[in-house]
Amino acid sequence: MTSARTISRSGPSVVTIDTVASATLTVQTPGAGFVDLTREADKFLAEIGARDGALSLFIRHTSASLTIQENADPSVLVDLMTILDRFAPQDFAWTHDTEGPDDMPAHVRTMLTATSLQVPVLDREMALGTWQAIYLIEHRRRPHVREVVLQFMGAVG
């Protein structure tokens, strides 16, 4: 294992949690693929006057998920869908097929990704990296209406 040559950190920032604010995003997906939620999360934080704290996102489904990924090169998202297709192919002999051949692979893809995320909010902005965005991943082929719960815990004003 290689050790880091230099590690530094900022001083601690202490915030008293005085607010818990929640909202639900309703997202119409176009079918399998990525939907960028970053702008909607930013709007929510601006609307409540979020200053410092944490934003959590939770998707209320078992065949769609959430991720933080690169937003600069769209081919990254294409490659990610390709690898998810390989990890959980639709043409596998799944036992659960009541809701169609794409349902069980969608459950597996959700299990491999995430149903919740947490993003620090520092000085009124999400602490995402330069090339990071928050995405809903639709794992089913046809369009669906999905719900994502946003919840901010921290200081406002």
pLDDT score recorded for residue 13: 86
Q: How many separate domains does the chain show?
A: 1
Instruction: Give the amino acid at 80.
Output: L
Partnered with residue 66 across adjacent β-strands are 136
- Any idea what the CATH number is for the domain that residue 77 is in? 2.60.120.460
**pLDDT, tens digit, 9 for 90 and up, residues 77-110:** 999 999 999 999 988 989 998 898 999 999 999 9
- Please indicate, yes or no, if residue 86 is contained in any of the structural domains: yes
- Please indicate, yes or no, if residue 3 is contained in any of the structural domains: no
128 is in which domain, residue-wise?
A: 28-156
Q: What is the mean pLDDT of residues 57-73?
A: 97
Q: Can you give the three-state secondary structure of the chain, one letter per residue?
A: CCCCCCCCCCCCCCCCCCEEEEEEEEEECCCCEEEECHHHHHHHHHHHCEEEEEEEEEECCCCEEEEEEECCCHHHHHHHHHHHHHHCCCCCCCCCCCCCCCHHHHHHHHHHCCCEEEEEEECCEECCCCCEEEEEEECCCCCCEEEEEEEEEEEEC
- Please indicate, yes or no, if residue 11 is contained in any of the structural domains: no
- Please indicate, yes or no, if residue 63 is contained in any of the structural domains: yes
**pLDDT, tens digit, 9 for 90 and up, residues 11-49:** 998 889 999 999 999 999 999 999 999 999 999 999 999
70 and 130 Cβ atoms separated by less than 8 Å: no
pLDDT score recorded for residue 1: 63
Give the pairing of strands 50-59 and 116-122. Answer: antiparallel
- pLDDT higher than 70, residue 3: no
- Please indicate, yes or no, if residue 23 is contained in any of the structural domains: no
- Please indicate, yes or no, if residue 15 is contained in any of the structural domains: no
pTM: 0.92
- Please indicate, yes or no, if residue 82 is contained in any of the structural domains: yes
7 and 86 Cβ atoms separated by less than 8 Å: no
- Please indicate, yes or no, if residue 2 is contained in any of the structural domains: no
